[in-house]
Structure 1
């Protein structure tokens, strides 16, 4: 379960990690009052998505009136499929340098991993590997002060920064361990007036351990579209491509996403229609894909429990009632395959039996823009 930035900042502050002054604002009036108290500030949209700054989710106000005007524009805006309902008004920093630090779980080694870099402010995936320092944690020992000092030395930090960094690493691991976190991240870890300040923070908690933390506020995650599909009872994740995907089973859905990417396409979503979804929920899910206005829709079904004729009926139901105004590529094989293919062919829709040529055709159609 992801936590909003202001929640992550509160967790840092509770462990003694320095953060800028900040206040939550749900209205323009509260944003104005926050800047009156704090001074020049950043207004940060509280949404569970990265890349807020580039998408207009972080803006700066010099005066209370400017904060009011910006808050009016930001509250209610759509930010990467999420509606901005809350802002975090945080004191503007004069940043001298940006670092990166996180504690997460290395699932291959099955131990905690601390990662740090002098290239803060960037997504860690975009940082050159030679700029990332990794240290694995013995969970029986945890993170002691010497661990933080070793990490600071590897980063080339000295003096006050090295001491503060070493102390911060210990505290960050305490959050990871005590809160049953999957990820605790500070990016950037800013240097301001020669001292470290957490300019941004992420905290993801392990869902399976939430029963141990009744005090933690439960955060409902997902965009409006994701919630809509989840209400149907299907697994759905939005991506940033233009080829909408529906497959049956998580493994098949992941393989479909991989196949589209392999042929140079960009998946718009992950949609697992389940192993035995009936006609109606399948039709509802396909209807959601149509509403996304993709360039192409790719339906990839390997029928086991799922019946190919049910899938075909769902496709035809959407075609007749809602319309499918974009190219539709269907791969249909398995239980009741012949009947499913026959139903589609009666309506002028052909079906592939192999995934690779079907995925390739979907990518070609997306590239042609038809």
Structure 2
């Protein structure tokens, strides 16, 4: 009888360890993401983290053919009062350069020396202030992740004194992303994350973030979020950070066939389709003297877009020349892949936020969609 009671007590304590309830313990990607997003909507915290990023601006990008990797290492300190009120201080370990960023609603304040620059926050920056990987998106991306990756969600000990669960996402295809998140069992806040990619030369780390301190709750003084001194309004993005930017305002289509029916020319797509990648959305972008068609593909974690330019030969050549001249180069180029080509009287630009063999493979497989 005593032995039986010991077994029962052990199971009770073990069950209590698994995220203090069964709702969070479900091995379900969608529920895990909902828990994380809810945490960042409701929890207030002050934290310190070490952020390691491959191929950042100012440092040579890693060689994906092999060779030595180089990284930017930053110390992050965050005062998080809510998704629209955040103070982030970043200290570069190599240069000892400190940047202060304050988000107030839709406005972003950046401090350089004694000067503040204010501008609207960019869409891709919102996840940075939440501390979230940008891949935490809704359908259809979650369905693609579940289809193309192996999901494992289980307790994994403690990080800085907090019980955590490890959400491990492993690819079913070669040369794809490996993603691991260590999630606070009580709050849903991500305490550690690791993004890697498989290469012929082994695993390469793309991004790693480890919290070294976190304190929940508390009242933050208003002075943390106040801005004083000279404030400069900047309409453009950072001049130093030369971005590749398309004006992608246009008619959006969720079906490739619907897009083909509305387009004034034949639409090209990879045939046969690449393993795991699926069409997510398309856009018809009409510009002066040209029509641009964007088709966007994803496997859930990795995305690429094909921009098809329909215009006269001299207009196409001028556009491609200007684009290639203005793209970020050298030490400031982002971690992305750009593949330009001409085919069947069209110009194509294939852009991926992440270098990999699928970009060239998509270019090789480009064929016009068959008519119904």
- TM-score tier by shorter-chain length is under 0.3
When Rg is computed on C-alpha atoms for both structures, the one with the higher figure is: 1
More helix per residue: 1 or 2?
Answer: 1
Could you state the TM-score of these two structures normalised by the residue count of structure 2?
Answer: 0.26
More strand per residue: 1 or 2?
Answer: 2
Q: Which has the higher contact order (CA 8 A, sep 6+)?
A: 2
Could you state the TM-score of these two structures normalised by the residue count of structure 1?
Answer: 0.26
